């Protein structure tokens, strides 16, 4: 599944303040899975891992992995919010 698809789906509004922080593009999420949904706001990076869709479980997608939070802080350095480049095949 394409993790970018959920990108447009994640319309949830997390309550973590770091949410906007990481959203800036620096997303230095300090929380573990907590920022998982937070980064969701802009988690349209380029990390094409396996838990990519996993974290989506936090949002509302269909993929429900287990590395929800694991994947985010995992490639937090890889994703460059290139969600624009992805044509979220979801819709």
Three-class secondary structure assignment of 32-71: CCHHHHHHHCCCCCCCCCCCHHHHHHHHCCCCCCCCHHHH
* Mean pLDDT across 21-28: 43
Specify the number of domains making up the chain: 1
Tell me if 85 is assigned to some domain.
Answer: no
Tell me if 65 is assigned to some domain.
Answer: yes
Residue range of the domain that includes 47: 3-74
Q: What is the pLDDT of residues 43-87, one digit of tens each?
A: 444 444 444 444 444 444 444 444 444 444 444 444 454 444 555
Tell me if 84 is assigned to some domain.
Answer: no
Tell me if 33 is assigned to some domain.
Answer: yes
Tell me if 83 is assigned to some domain.
Answer: no
Mean pLDDT of the chain: 47
Tell me if 89 is assigned to some domain.
Answer: no
């Amino acid at each position: 599944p394409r993790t970018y698809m959920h990108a447009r789906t994640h319309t949830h509004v997390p309550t973590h303040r770091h949410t906007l922080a990481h959203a800036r593009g620096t997303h230095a999420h300090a929380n573990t899975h907590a920022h998982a949904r937070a980064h969701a706001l802009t988690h349209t990076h380029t990390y094409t891992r396996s838990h990519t869709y996993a974290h989506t479980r936090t949002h509302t997608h269909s993929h429900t992995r287990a590395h929800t939070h694991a994947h985010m802080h995992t490639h937090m350095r890889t994703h460059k919010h290139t969600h624009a480049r992805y044509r979220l095949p979801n819709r």
